[in-house]
Structures are given as structure tokens and as C-alpha cells.
Amino acid sequence: MALKRLGRFAEAERCYRQALQWVPDSADILANLADNSSEAGDYTQAIAYADQALKSQPNHLGARINKATALYAALQPEESLKIFE
């Protein structure tokens, strides 16, 4: 999303959350929220969003990548590697 690329993470999150109101279990939107949170440096929230996406769609590649990236950035490299086992 353009807002995220501009570093406007709070605005991007608001837009993604609005989209979730229309499609509450969308793994794509939740994965985008995870990516946005990770880019903003909020790895705990990124992991939570990725977990929600994976609950909705267990094999969602974007959510897996976003969770692994957030775990690695949160200094949990072993947990990060487990995502793809």
C-alpha cells in the first residue's frame, strides 16, 4: 500500500482495519497488517496479526513470511526457522 511505502504506518493500519470490517477473516488483509506492523517496528503486533492470518488460512505464504520476519527481528531466530518446517 502506498501509505506504508511512504512510512505512514498508522494511516496504513487504519485503512487495513477498515478493510477488515468488510472481510473480517481475510488472511490477505491480516498479513498486510502484519507486514505494516513489522515495518513500523512493532514485532509483537506483527506476530499477532500473522497468527490471526494463519488461523484463518494456515498455509498463507505471506503470513508465514511476515511472522518469520517479525520473529527474526524480535531476536527469536530459532522460532523464525520453525515457521517453514
Question: How far is the C-alpha of 12 from the C-alpha of 76, rounded, in Å?
Answer: 26
CATH T-level topology, domain 8-82: 1.25.40
pLDDT in tens, 45-72: 999 999 999 999 999 999 999 999 999 9
Give the domain ranges of the chain.
Answer: 8-82
C-alpha cell at 74: 524480535
- Tell me, yes or no, if the pTM score tops 0.85: yes
Question: How far is the C-alpha of 12 from the C-alpha of 37, rounded, in Å?
Answer: 10
Q: DSSP letter at 40?
A: T
* pLDDT of 77: 87
